[in-house]
């Protein structure tokens, strides 16, 4: 949020996301629950898929989280001002929701950019969680392939996101030069 003080009735753009659990075919065994390894001498060895197993159960599918972005404009219905020797604190509300300072903005673009950061952070937390599982399974090769594929996919997404940000800020620089 900016330093500008808002009033009841003003509108701000708020960034938020919803996390959805999605069931997907196992990307390693495609639901067959078995994979084939090629050994150094060319022999093929069939083994259990460890990517989609949980505990001793085998599934053929996995759960992943997907993030659905929501950027919406809300009006301030309540404002709380707290003044003390240490300064002035203002809290804004839309009905029963607090409009967090770090998630509420004057423009839709700023809220969108913040939302991308929030989702990236959440995805990184997801990766850390699965990295923990990975470290518990040091010899599960097929699991590792799945892990690194996912890491790669997320890294590619991050590159895309950074490109969009670069374009966004370049455009901003241009706009401010034209002012």
Catalog residues that contact Zn ion under the rule CB under 5 A.
Answer: 26, 28-29, 49, 51-52
Q: How far is the CB of 60 from Zn ion (least distance, A)?
A: 6
Nearer to Zn ion (CB atom), residue 51 or residue 105: 51
Nearer to Zn ion (CB atom), residue 18 or residue 57: 57
Q: CA–CA separation, 8 vs 33, rounded Å?
A: 58
Taking alpha carbons only, the member of 44, 51, 57 closest to residue 30 is 51
Q: How far is the CB of 95 from Zn ion (least distance, A)?
A: 45
Q: How far is the CB of 26 from Zn ion (least distance, A)?
A: 3
Q: CA–CA separation, 73 vs 136, rounded Å?
A: 44
Note whether 99 and 12 are within 8 A (CB): yes
Nearer to Zn ion (CB atom), residue 6 or residue 51: 51
Q: Tell me the CB-side half-sphere exposure of residue 22, using CA atoms within 13 A.
A: 11
């Amino acid at each position: 949020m900016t330093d500008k003080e808002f009033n009841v009735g003003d509108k701000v753009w708020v960034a938020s996301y919803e996390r959805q659990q999605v069931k997907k075919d196992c990307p390693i065994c495609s639901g067959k629950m078995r994979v084939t390894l090629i050994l150094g001498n060319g022999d093929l060895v069939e083994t259990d898929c460890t990517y989609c197993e949980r505990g001793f159960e085998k599934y053929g599918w996995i759960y992943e989280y997907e993030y659905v972005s929501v950027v919406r404009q809300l009006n301030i219905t309540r404002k709380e001002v707290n003044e003390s020797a240490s300064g002035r604190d203002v809290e804004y509300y839309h009905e029963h929701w607090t409009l967090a300072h770090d998630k509420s903005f004057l423009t839709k673009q700023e809220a969108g950019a913040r939302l991308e950061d929030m989702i990236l952070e959440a995805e990184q937390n997801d990766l850390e969680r699965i990295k923990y599982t990975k470290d518990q399974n040091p010899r599960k090769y097929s699991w590792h392939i799945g892990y690194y594929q996912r890491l790669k996919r997320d890294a590619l997404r991050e590159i895309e996101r950074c490109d969009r940000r670069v374009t966004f800020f370049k455009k901003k620089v241009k706009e401010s030069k034209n002012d």
